[in-house]
Amino acid sequence: MPEIMVGAASELADGEHRIVAVGELEVGIFRLGDRFVAYENRCPHHGGPVCQGKLFNGVEEIIMPDQTSRGLRFSKERHVVCPWHGYEFNLDTGRHPGDARVRLRPIPVRVADGGIYIETRG
């Protein structure tokens, strides 16, 4: 598959993201620490611009050994929420936390010589 440089890695700080258009394809590129992930900017629910949604840490329930709840806390997992209908996705996996079969389409991304490269459709 052909690759295209879409920017410099130094332009995105940890936790930031950018939307780029390559022809008809829109891609959201997210920096997670030293890693970069990229997804097609299209929600699998109804095609909304998912990568333009809000980013936040996931919420998890604290369950004790006796199966009682001690409340909720923010996890270290980063999520994006589609602005159209609120579907959320884990940025590490691209999967919906309630149904792993619902997922964003990953776009191969790599950093080389300080540049961010994504694969485009051939």
Residue range 42-62, pLDDT digits in tens = 999 999 999 999 999 988 899
Which pTM was predicted? Answer: 0.88
Question: What are residue 9's phi and psi, to 5 degrees?
Answer: -60, -30
Q: Is 86 helix (H, G, I), strand (E, B) or coil?
A: coil
Report the chain's mean pLDDT, rounded to a whole number. 92
Q: Rounded to an integer, what distance in angstroms lies between the CA atom of residue 9 and that of residue 100?
A: 29
81 CB burial (10 A radius; 0-12, 13-18, 19+): middle
| Residue 70: domain span | 3-119
Residue 87 near residue 79, CB atoms below 8 Å = no
Residue 13, domain CATH: 2.102.10.10
Q: Tell me how many domains the chain contains.
A: 1
Quick one: pLDDT at residue 122?
52
* pLDDT score at 58: 83
pLDDT at 68 over 90: yes
What's the pLDDT score for residue 60? 87
| Least confident interval from 7-11, 26-30, 58-62 | 58-62
